[in-house]
Amino acid sequence: MSGLAGQVALVTGASRGIGAATAEALAAAGAPGVLTARDTKKLEAVAQRIFDAGGAATIAPVDLTEADSIARLANALAGRWPALDIMVHAAAVLPELTPVIDIDQVALTRALTVNLLATQALIARFDPLLRKSADGRLVYLTTSLATAPRAFWGAYAASKAATEALVDCYGQETRNISKLRVVIVDPGATRTEMRARAYPGEDPASVKAPEVVAERIVALLGEQFASPHRERVNHA
């Protein structure tokens, strides 16, 4: 049996891409998942694939722009399970690529709300459940743009840089006073809808599938590492 068997996992952004692939990989490893995203039909499709493969999953449609929704989700999980062993935070939004002087304030506010503020709310609400686990782990999906920004990516890079700093600080704050461990994963170039929007002329076959990243995340969750831990997933 996998070392993750029976562990409870929460996956955000689980309706597609890396989030969906990770939810399926966790279920295959025996970790029942709570899958969150805004799109109920896509979540249902992911859950059905998990069921068909013999796994277990619960869908919980949540809009991360609504802090109350995050609080309700945390309360629901606390009412069903005594602890949360794994939280994989893959949800993020990509604002339009544009020069800094042309950034739309509404789009930037949404990016900051989903990418940064929702992350803080998730950490705050699920910290008690994660600490109750004998081996709680938070996995945050970042981007190389957080530390190496490029022209026209200012809005997205800024939102992810701020969030990465937030998650890193959380890892430092918890490492000596709890069993909780924090992992910051840069998936690298991956075949997702977000990447297809950013690179419309790119051959999808030239970048790795989300399943490659998911497999590494699941493997990493079974390893020992100091918190906060960082790594990049290269092409298989």
Before 204, cis peptide (omega within 30)? no
Domains of the chain: 9-232 (3.40.50.720)
What are 151-171's pLDDT values in tens digits? 999 999 999 999 999 999 999
What are 51-69's pLDDT values in tens digits? 999 999 999 999 999 889 9
- For the entire predicted model, the pTM comes to 0.96
What is the DSSP annotation of 20-38?
A: HHHHHHHHHTT--EEEE-S
Pairing of strands 229-232, 86-89: unpaired
More confidently predicted of 9 and 65: 9
Rounded CA-CA distance 38/60 in Å is: 9
Q: Cite the active site residues.
A: 156
